Chains A and B, each alone.
Chain A
Amino acid sequence: MKLPTWKEMPEGIVILEAGNAQEYETGSWRTFRPVVDKGKCINCLFCWIYCPDSSIIVKEEKMEGIDYAHCKGCGICSKVCPAKAISMVEEGSL
């Protein structure tokens, strides 16, 4: 991503486009990675509801996986999963 020069900054401390937080990849902040065992997953989508970073990938009402480019590894999905399908694995051990 090419960053703007000071002359290209908008007047005022503002961001003029909506939804561009997606461009900021926060996945590198992660210490523990959520790993899904699809065999245990019941597609209740509790993880999708609770994820504070919209990092649960859902397709046709099914939990498809995790967006590791944005997941910060907070572990909420693992905590709320009723089927205990998500385990937190230390990044360094992978």
Chain B
Amino acid sequence: MKTKNLLALEGNQAIALAMKQIDPDVVAAYPITPQTEIVQVFSEYVANGDVHTEFVTVESEHSALSACIGASAAGARTMTATSSQGLALMWEMLYIASGARLPIVMTVVNRALSSPINIHCDHSDAMGARDSGWIQLWSETAQEAYDNVIQAIKIAESVNLPVMVNMDGFITSHAEEVIEPLDDEEVKNFIGEYKPLRSLLDIEHPFTVGPLALQDSYFEFKRSQAEAYKKVIPVVKSVAEEFAKITGRKYDLFETYKLEDAEIGLVVLNSTAGTAKEVVDTLRREGKKVGLLKPRLFRPLPVEELKAVLSRLKVIGVMDRADTFGGFGGPLFTDIRSALYDLSNRPIVTDYIYGLGGRDVTMEQIHKVFESLELIYSSGKVENLISYVGVRE
């Protein structure tokens, strides 16, 4: 039997390792807390000659993604990473990358957006980019983030769309965790050689990338782009199956935890899912039928698959680590609730906004969320559809 190769790594170091093993043609990135270490460690790999990557140091995230777009259009396997304000600064380029169908892979180390300025975890950055056409994968642990980055390359290049891999700032990016990486050779074989759809360097086949398209053609381009997302779900599933064959680690569109016979369920992204699983265990020991669903693929939203699993529940609490100011609850809540609307016997869905700006979320708080869901379950009444957890009242 093969001996397990285990490493103690921080989340950021695990991502840098994944990037080293992927050995992309081009990385253009700008450091920002809490993503900095990814760029720092990767630049050491470049300096030491461990990778063949052309590493482009830029003056901003806008330029970082612009350089990635140029490189990807030229046919290079391209990667970057950012956080928070950096992702916000990339905003207009995000849409250009997805519209041009460029399979760039970017790790987003989730951090709050200013103001007030804050460097800690919440999901406002990635949620602000949820309609930008990037596929979004979310990761509970450093191991999941590492595994997602490697799978993201294969997903992106199979569907010609960019992928954003999310992990929680500091909580996952800076905490040391035992990681079981793949061997370099395994990564190389898994991702294979990149054969771009088109390359600007292919002078035998000249083409124009990113032309003007006005009233007569813009709509057709965007309608055609909308169709591309239908192909993503089966690809994410098949890539996960292939990944499980070599690692034994199974991934899907989402993870369910003790949900099969549950009547009350919690939907929560990233690291908080780990804390919430502990609470589910405690409540299960008390004989309560509770469970959890942790989305992995958030964009495109696997609506039918979510419906199939969540329809069995009576009450669902969605925990959102982002708010939509002036909107109708957090982004995860509005999506989940809307996905279930057409069910004849739809569950009650409520929203709990928590952890903004890195506010700690404790087992006690999640316990209280379940208590409020139990009250809704027994009374059939919702007093607060959208509430805030862990804020000083």
Contacts and interface: CB of A to CB of B under 8 A. Distances in A.
Q: Do A and B come from one complex?
A: yes
Contacts of A15: 207-208, 211
A3 B99 CA distance: 20
Contacts of A17: 207
Contact of B197 (A9, A11, A13, A18): A11
A13 B216 contact: no
B220 A6 contact: yes
A13 B95 CA distance: 11
A14 B208 contact: yes
Interface string A1-33: 001111101011111111000000000000000
Interface in B59-115: 99-102
Q: Main SS of chain A's interface residues? A: loop
Nearest to A7: B224
A13 B205 CA distance: 16
B133 to A, nearest CB: 11
Nearest to B217: A3
B216 to A, nearest CB: 6
Interface residues of A, number: 14
B302 to A, nearest CB: 22
Q: Which one of A5, A15, A17 has the greatest number of beta carbons of chain B within 10 Å?
A: A15
A7 to B, nearest CB: 7
Nearest to A15: B208
B210 interface: yes
A4 B160 CA distance: 21
B207 A14 contact: yes
Given A14-B198, A14-B208, A4 B101 contact: no
Interface of B: 99-102, 160, 197-198, 205-211, 213, 216-217, 219-221, 223-224, 227-228
Given A6-B224, A13-B209, 5 more contacts: A3-B216, A6-B220, A6-B223, A13-B100, A16-B205
